[in-house]
Amino acid sequence: MEKRCKVCGKLKPFSDFYRMAEMKDGHRNDCKACNLAAKAARYKADPAPAIARAKRWQEENRDRHLANQRGRRERPDVKARNRDGHLRRKFGITQERYAELLAAQGGGCAVCRKKPKPGRSLHVDHDHATGAVRGLLCFSDNAALGHLAEDEVRIDALLGYLLDHDPVAVAIGDIESVDIYETA
Ligand SMILES: [Zn+2]
Ligand SMILES: [Zn+2]
């Protein structure tokens, strides 16, 4: 069973026409493609009525609207787009740049090499003074760097402390000298 579209004039199967109970054959006279194109053109010319209609529907169907939104957020394409927007806004890098950095780091944290869990990503570490992206770090290493205020001297002193201070010697009181990190 076919029908000719009143708009594009093409002969198409009934499944290509939206249903409309008041029509003799139960279908609209314009095909789905033409109907959607007209809708898109109307929206482009004046989006206000469509936005108002959507808003009204969302208010009258709160539970379904929230369920739809939750479902949408979980979609891989939406997740990727949101992640891309987040990266651009916060760090000024694209999803592609992130992927490049990650590949250059062998797929893991730049410090401990640990790979992020599936569906999670590493932190984009940036120099707080210049805002430039330095690399990708796991949560722990990013937090550690933050706690140490990105201070190279202090980080070096912490490593020196770990290497120099034998816990056993401290326990028995055998300390000759203690290096204190200078904060000034
Ligand atoms: Zn058509
Ligand atoms: Zn790490």
Tell me how far the alpha carbon of residue 15 lies from the centroid of ligand 1, in angstroms. Answer: 12
CA of 36, nearest ligand number = 1
User: What ligand has the least distance to the C-alpha of 125?
Assistant: 2
E-state strands within 5-137: 11-13, 17-19, 27-31, 123-126, 133-137
Instruction: Specify the amino acid at residue 8.
Output: C
Between the CA of 4 and the centroid of ligand 1 the distance, in Å, is: 8
Q: What would the pLDDT profile of 56-78 be if each residue is shown by its tens digit? A: 999 999 999 999 888 888 888 88
**How many A from CA of 139 to the centre of ligand 2?**
7
Determine the straight-line distance between the first and last CA of the chain, rounded to whole angstroms. 86
pLDDT tens column, 115-164: 998 878 899 998 878 878 899 999 999 999 999 988 999 999 999 988 88
* pLDDT interval class at 94 (50, 70, 90): confident
Distance 80 CA to ligand 2 centre (A): 23
User: Looking at residue 184, what is its pLDDT?
Assistant: 45
User: 76-147: which CATH number, 3.40.1800.10, 3.10.290.10, 3.30.160.150, 3.40.190.10?
Assistant: 3.40.1800.10
